[in-house]
Copies of this chain bind each other. A is one copy, B any other.
Amino acid sequence: MKTPFQRSTAQRQLILEELRGVHTHPTAVELFDLVRVRLPKISLGTVYRNLERLAQAGMIAKMDKAGGEARFDGNIEPHDHLRCVRCGRVDDAPAQAPLDLSSVRADDFGGYEILGHRLTFLGVCPRCRGNETPQPKGE
């Protein structure tokens, strides 16, 4: 993969490392807090800047915002997501749903040139199925 970055910095390295080390699809602020443990002087602006550029470079994925903030995914392999409508958490789907597009005709796509797809299942996570009192997160 070509790197569009001209210099290697500790900040970007750590951001990427932390993002790949978790499977929780963190927000920029959550990632900021993770990175800050090892690099206390990093600024939130730098986290945003790098996430944006890493996403544009295709090295990470920027997810659609369900509630208030954007979430980022260190795993760029195609995979589906599970989102809890109560607490807002997003998990990776253990298996990719079989989406058979072979029978879909070109003009089912309204003239679009298709590059990929995003599939997210909405549901209630195990945690929230237990306690009826919903977590404050989400929309």
Contacts and interface: CB of A to CB of B under 8 A. Distances in A.
Main secondary structure of the interface of A (DSSP, over half): mixed
A5 to B, nearest CB: 19
A135 to B, nearest CB: 15
Contact of A110 (B91, B97, B101, B109): B91
Copies per complex? Answer: 2
A137 interface: no
Given A115-B123, A117-B120, A98 B103 contact: yes
Size category, A interface: 35 or more
12 contacts: A64-B66, A65-B65, A94-B110, A95-B105, A97-B101, A97-B108, A98-B104, A99-B99, A100-B100, A110-B126, A112-B123, A112-B124
